[in-house]
């Protein structure tokens, strides 16, 4: 099996298991549960394929990217799909107290963030790493200069090195400001904000290739940014 | 000074102090700082007035609402405005390490969440508390029934009673699902999500009126929801 | 029923309900569960009575203290007792994935922190608020001066105003340093650390009496510190 | 330079840089700062050497352990040492608001947790992985059986796979219970608790050797537990 067909296989198998592992099996047929249906309780998310060939990134190995996509992003989808079934169970169990429910809701939020941010992350990779004048100007409009933006974005990433979290350039729709955010984990983040450029700072994004050298990963990340895609989000 | 003019006074005074307390004074005139200008570093947020008369809510006292608007929402704006100046200072200080910067960015995220969520919260109060058939149907479309939605939303709120956090009905723009979120504090939350109905579960939202009786506050909250406004966000 | 006997009644009733609400009912009689017994899974915590008369504090009302003890501290005990039963259930359910389990463990940690910190908090109130020379000297030994300690401790408290969290003077047994800690919520905190002086900054500690005026609460807190008790913890 | 002498070199160099990087340089000589001295503000932590030879662990490579000790544990010490200087600066700056201070205190707590937990972690590795009958009995006394304890401890670890956090067997000195804790990051955790067995679930603890296969790391971790040391903590 060559790499391409292997990847195809993995994706198909993964998609199947995403559904198989979903909450369906966790649900009982209690009549009252009929009222808790609809996307909020039974949405099953399917993995979005990588928008680039994993063996073509600069300084980020195929093995790293493939594991990241399959295990971390894929694992979050499986967990999120399964959690909806658990939520229905807990909501329909009159003996289940609110603080058990919030435990599940935290896990749901964590996986929701992981899915959404990973899709935005892979979505903005695979490019030349070279922003054109237009996107530079638009970012400079909010940060003074493009370099000032890059300086802050990298500093956030460095501050997260050795731990977990995300650095995100986002447009806050309520404040009407394009700004950088520090996020401690998948469950942290600004609501009502469109992610424009997303950098994963969990160690699974780089440890296989760079060990603890987070700064080198940030360099590699910048070399692969798909700025055309970023521009389209602006 | 009657209550209306007092409120007007407070708002004007507050707006002035929001600017006075902003980060401006914290900045030095170092030449290099000229590169860190623009909304991301110098945006000053102004308070949005209450969209209703604070003395007209059912079961939520004017004193509570006024304090909530002025001290908690207003305090977040002051802090957020001042923090931008601190960020510029730290970014331009070559001796300042990334982990000091991320400390500031966390505080910025916390206040950003507080400002955005409080505006959405006050924005969806002041109504009749009576959802019309159309909004009930649209929510039922995602949760099975309107009651299933309300049951989960209240359960999230109850689970947060006695602590901090938010219950939010939001439309996740990436997952394309309308769902309820549990948020532990202002800095927690789903990115790329439009808040549709927001309930503050910090104790400052109810302790003055209800002490520890969070469930009674949730009832009062529901009695004041502006469902027409909520419908407009859907 | 006068206030004293009413409080006695409340405590007895509460103690009973702490046990009744415990996880016992949530457990099934599955044979395999016999292996998950012992304090880690079935410890039932009982409330410690207030070490002072709630109507005798300066600037903190009996109503506030009583509600704090009964609802917030008492509520945490009930939740903690019930959660152990849920943990046994989840651990013995082969279909329950690890991320459901960690959701419960987070809630357990949150309630564990609440119980331990509330007991330390009530435990160090009820005094004169006047530290003697010996305790001042011992604290100065770690902070330069007693005032430097107080200045930092109050600043932590002020920074938590309007939200949740704790300010704690603690002895870090590993670092062998007596220092102040900021804690965002009941689940945050330094392990291997003996709490010496604990100040609750959740809004339920003051909103009933002081609304949003956290600084006034901090003054009242200081006026009631039992420094003899604090000295005994040093 | 052979591996042993290289390690010695690294440790000596690291110790020097831990002091050099400390907050000393960040402090100004303002007279008022003389009141903020003492361990709480100027304690400099030195790294504890590994209590075993990094090349002798089973299934955990020397490269991984060395990087973990030097970069993650060592980095936390450097940051913690430097942060104390920043705290003094901020405390003595009358223009610095409390919410800037709490940002620093959070970073301090994060690094304090990292230092304490890493020392406990390395401290309980390097053994045979084989608990004797006595330690098994003592753990069984709290969990029903030793296997019930191991089952929960592993489940906590698995739930943290792909992210950050710690699984800790600890003795809660207030509750007087030996129990397992889930901790989301270095800043989470139970106060007044003695860590007995500590497992690092940050990805830097395994990604170099095992990629995303957290379960295989947990197996390797168990194979290296120094149970004699654990027994001494009980």
Length of chain C: 234
Residue of B nearest to A89 (CA): B152
Predicted confidence (pLDDT) at residue B15 exceeds the cutoff of 50: no
Rounded Cα–Cα distance for residues A171 and A194 (Å): 5
Mean pLDDT of chain D: 89
Total H helices, total E strands in chain A: 10, 3
The predicted complex's ipTM stands at: 0.88
Q: With H, G, I as helix, E, B as strand and everything else as coil, classify residue D18.
A: helix
Predicted confidence (pLDDT) at residue D21 exceeds the cutoff of 70: no
DSSP 8-state symbol, D68? I
**Angle at the Cα of D115 (from D109 to D120), degrees rounded to 5?**
125
Q: With residue A5 as reference, give the H or E element that holds it.
A: helix A3-20
Other beta carbons less than 10 A from residue C9's beta carbon? 11
Predicted confidence (pLDDT) at residue D31 exceeds the cutoff of 60: no
| Mean pLDDT of the region A151-174 | 97
Q: With H, G, I as helix, E, B as strand and everything else as coil, classify residue B171.
A: strand
Q: Residue B36's pLDDT is what?
A: 84
Rounded Cα–Cα distance for residues D33 and C187 (Å): 33
* Cα C108 → chain centroid: 14
| Mean pLDDT of the region B55-65 | 98
**Residue A20 backbone class (left: φ over 0; alpha: ψ -120 to 50; beta: rest):** alpha
Q: Residue C155's pLDDT is what?
A: 97
Nearest to C103 among A26, A82, A107 (CB): A107
Q: How far is CA C190 from CA A83, B161, C15, in A?
A: 31, 25, 30
**Angle at the Cα of B134 (from B130 to B138), degrees rounded to 5?**
105
Instruction: Using CB atoms, list chains with 3+ pairs below 8 Å to chain C.
Output: A, B, D
**Residues sharing a CB contact under 8 Å with residue D95, sequence separation 6 or more, in sequence order:** B25, B26
Which strands, in side-by-side order, build the sheet including D193-200?
Answer: D177-183, D166-172, D193-200
**CB-CB neighbors (< 8 A) of D74 in chain A:** none
Contact B83 D106 (CB under 8 A): no
CA distance C76 to chain D (A): 13
CA distance D27 to chain C (A): 16
DSSP 8-state symbol, D131? -
Residue of A nearest to C24 (CA): A95
| pLDDT digits 0-9 by tens, D67-110 | 999 999 999 999 999 999 999 999 999 999 999 999 999 999 99
Contact D102 B104 (CB under 8 A): no
Other beta carbons less than 10 A from residue B58's beta carbon? 12
Residue C203: both structure tokens together: 């809004």
Handedness of CA B188, B192, B194, B197 (dihedral sign): negative
Start-to-end Cα distance in chain B: 40
Nearest to A144 among B35, B105, B119 (CB): B35
| Mean pLDDT of the region B190-211 | 98
Note whether D192 and C193 are within 8 A (CB).
yes
Residue of A nearest to B145 (CA): A35
DSSP 8-state symbol, D60? S
Contact C162 B75 (CB under 8 A): yes
Q: Residue A36's pLDDT is what?
A: 83
Which strands, in side-by-side order, build the sheet including A166-172?
Answer: A177-183, A166-172, A193-200
| pLDDT digits 0-9 by tens, D163-172 | 999 999 999 9
CA distance B95 to chain C (A): 24
Identify from B86, B158, B166, B212 which residue to disrupt to test chain C contact, counting C C-beta atoms within 10 A and taking the largest count: B212
Contact A106 C104 (CB under 8 A): no
Contact C174 D119 (CB under 8 A): yes
Nearest to A208 among D72, D164, D207 (CB): D207
- Percentage with pLDDT > 70 across chain B: 85
**Residues sharing a CB contact under 8 Å with residue D7, sequence separation 6 or more, in sequence order:** D54, D66
**Residues sharing a CB contact under 8 Å with residue D145, sequence separation 6 or more, in sequence order:** C35
CA distance C77 to chain A (A): 12
Note whether B207 and C208 are within 8 A (CB).
yes
Length of chain D: 234
**DSSP string across D71-102:** IIIHHHHHHHHHHHHHHHHHHT-TT--HHHHH
**DSSP string across D32-58:** GGGGS-SHHHH----PPPPSS-GGGSS
Note whether A107 and C100 are within 8 A (CB).
yes
Note whether B122 and B57 are within 8 A (CB).
no
**CB-CB neighbors (< 8 A) of B38 in chain A:** 140-144, 148
Q: Residue B12's pLDDT is what?
A: 40
Rounded Cα–Cα distance for residues D33 and D35 (Å): 5
Note whether A56 and A126 are within 8 A (CB).
yes
Other beta carbons less than 10 A from residue A39's beta carbon? 18
Residue D24: both structure tokens together: 């000393």
Residue C196: both structure tokens together: 């010496």
Q: With residue D136 as reference, give the H or E element that holds it.
A: helix D133-143
Contact D35 C98 (CB under 8 A): no
Q: Residue D35's pLDDT is what?
A: 82
C189 or B17: which carries more pLDDT confidence?
A: C189
CA distance C39 to chain A (A): 20
**CB-CB neighbors (< 8 A) of D79 in chain B:** 97, 99
Residue C190: both structure tokens together: 């330094």
Burial B89-100 (b: 16+ CB within 10 A, else e): bbbbeeebbbbb
Rounded Cα–Cα distance for residues C231 and D9 (Å): 44
Residue of A nearest to B47 (CA): A175
**CB-CB neighbors (< 8 A) of C98 in chain D:** 155-156, 158-159, 161
Rounded Cα–Cα distance for residues B132 and B165 (Å): 28
In 3D space, the residue among D155, D153, D187 whose CA is nearest the CA of residue D168 turns out to be D153
Mean pLDDT of chain B: 89
Note whether B112 and A190 are within 8 A (CB).
yes
| C133-233 topology per CATH | minor pseudopilin epsh fold (3.55.40)
Q: Which of A24-28, C73-77, C199-203, D137-141 has the lowest mean pLDDT?
A: A24-28
Using beta carbons and an 8 Å cutoff, which residues of D are at the interface with A?
63, 67-68, 71-72, 75, 162-164, 184-186, 202-204, 207-208, 211-212
Nearest to A104 among C82, C95, C103 (CB): C103
Rounded Cα–Cα distance for residues D182 and D166 (Å): 6
What are the two backbone dihedrals, phi and then psi, of residue C206, each rounded to the nearest 5 degrees? -150, -20
Beta strand residue intervals within C25-165, DSSP E: none
What are the start-end ranges of the H helices in chain B?
3-20, 39-42, 62-67, 74-91, 98-123, 133-143, 146-160, 207-210, 214-223, 227-233
**CB-CB neighbors (< 8 A) of A143 in chain B:** 36, 38, 40-41
Q: With residue A133 as reference, give the H or E element that holds it.
A: helix A133-143
Rounded Cα–Cα distance for residues A213 and D188 (Å): 25
DSSP 8-state symbol, A26? G
Gyration radius from chain B CA atoms: 19
Q: Which residue has the tokens 């790329």?
A: B192
**CB-CB neighbors (< 8 A) of C211 in chain B:** 63, 67, 71, 208
Residue of A nearest to B184 (CA): A106
Rounded Cα–Cα distance for residues B126 and B128 (Å): 7
Pairing of strands D193-200, B177-183: unpaired
Give domain limits for chain D.
3-123, 133-233
Burial D75-91 (b: 16+ CB within 10 A, else e): bbbbbbbbbbbbbbbbb
Predicted confidence (pLDDT) at residue D6 exceeds the cutoff of 80: no
**CB-CB neighbors (< 8 A) of D43 in chain C:** 175, 177, 179
Predicted confidence (pLDDT) at residue A29 exceeds the cutoff of 50: no
**CB-CB neighbors (< 8 A) of D177 in chain C:** 39-40, 43
Contact B109 A178 (CB under 8 A): no
Q: What is the pTM of this model?
A: 0.90
Nearest to A71 among D75, D162, D202 (CB): D162
Q: With H, G, I as helix, E, B as strand and everything else as coil, classify residue B123.
A: helix
B34: confidence class by pLDDT, cuts 50, 70, 90: low
Q: Residue C175's pLDDT is what?
A: 97
**CB-CB neighbors (< 8 A) of D163 in chain A:** 164, 185-186, 202
Q: How far is CA C49 from CA A31, B10, C53, C66, in A?
A: 45, 43, 10, 11
Residue of B nearest to D104 (CA): B103
Burial grade of D233 (CB within 10 A; 0-12, 13-18, 19 or more): middle
User: What does the pLDDT profile of chain C (234 residues) look like in tens digits?
Assistant: 333 333 343 344 344 444 444 443 344 444 444 688 899 999 999 999 999 999 999 999 999 999 999 999 999 999 999 999 999 999 999 999 999 999 999 999 999 999 999 999 999 999 999 999 999 999 999 999 999 999 999 999 999 999 999 999 999 999 999 999 999 999 999 999 999 999 999 999 999 999 999 999 999 999 999 999 999 999
Q: Which of A26-35, A202-211, B34-43, C7-16 has the lowest mean pLDDT?
A: C7-16
Predicted confidence (pLDDT) at residue D13 exceeds the cutoff of 80: no
Nearest to A194 among B109, B145, B192 (CB): B192
Contact C99 A107 (CB under 8 A): yes
Note whether D205 and D67 are within 8 A (CB).
no
Q: Residue D34's pLDDT is what?
A: 62
Q: With H, G, I as helix, E, B as strand and everything else as coil, classify residue C194.
A: strand
Nearest to B109 among A151, A181, A187 (CB): A181
Q: Residue D28's pLDDT is what?
A: 42
> Diameter of chain B by CA atoms?
60
Residue B82: both structure tokens together: 């001042």
Gyration radius from chain D CA atoms: 19
* Cα C116 → chain centroid: 4
Rounded Cα–Cα distance for residues C149 and C170 (Å): 12
Contact C100 A86 (CB under 8 A): yes
Start-to-end Cα distance in chain A: 40
CA distance C134 to chain B (A): 36
């Amino acid at each position: 099996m060559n790499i391409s067909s292997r990847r195809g296989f993995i994706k198909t198998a993964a998609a199947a298991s995403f559904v198989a592992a979903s909450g369906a099996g966790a649900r009982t047929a209690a009549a009252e549960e009929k009222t808790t249906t609809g996307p909020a309780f039974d949405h099953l998310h399917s993995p979005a394929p990588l928008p680039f060939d994993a063996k073509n990134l600069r300084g980020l190995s195929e093995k790293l990217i493939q594991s990241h996509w399959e295990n971390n992003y894929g694992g979050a989808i499986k967990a999120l799909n399964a959690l909806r079934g658990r939520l229905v169970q807990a909501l329909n169990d009159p003996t289940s107290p609110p603080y058990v429910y919030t435990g599940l809701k935290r896990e749901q939020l964590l996986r929701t963030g992981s899915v959404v941010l990973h899709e935005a992350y892979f979505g903005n990779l695979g490019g030349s790493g070279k922003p054109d004048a237009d996107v530079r100007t638009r970012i400079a409009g909010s940060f003074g200069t493009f370099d000032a933006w890059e300086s802050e974005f990298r500093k956030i990433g460095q501050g997260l090195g050795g731990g977990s979290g995300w650095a995100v350039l986002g447009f806050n729709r309520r404040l009407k400001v394009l700004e950088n955010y520090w996020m401690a984990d998948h469950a942290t983040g600004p609501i009502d904000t469109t992610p424009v450029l997303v950098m994963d700072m969990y160690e699974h994004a780089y440890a296989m290739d760079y060990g603890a050298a987070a700064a080198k990963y940030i360099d590699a990340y910048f070399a692969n940014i798909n700025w055309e895609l970023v521009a389209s989000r602006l």
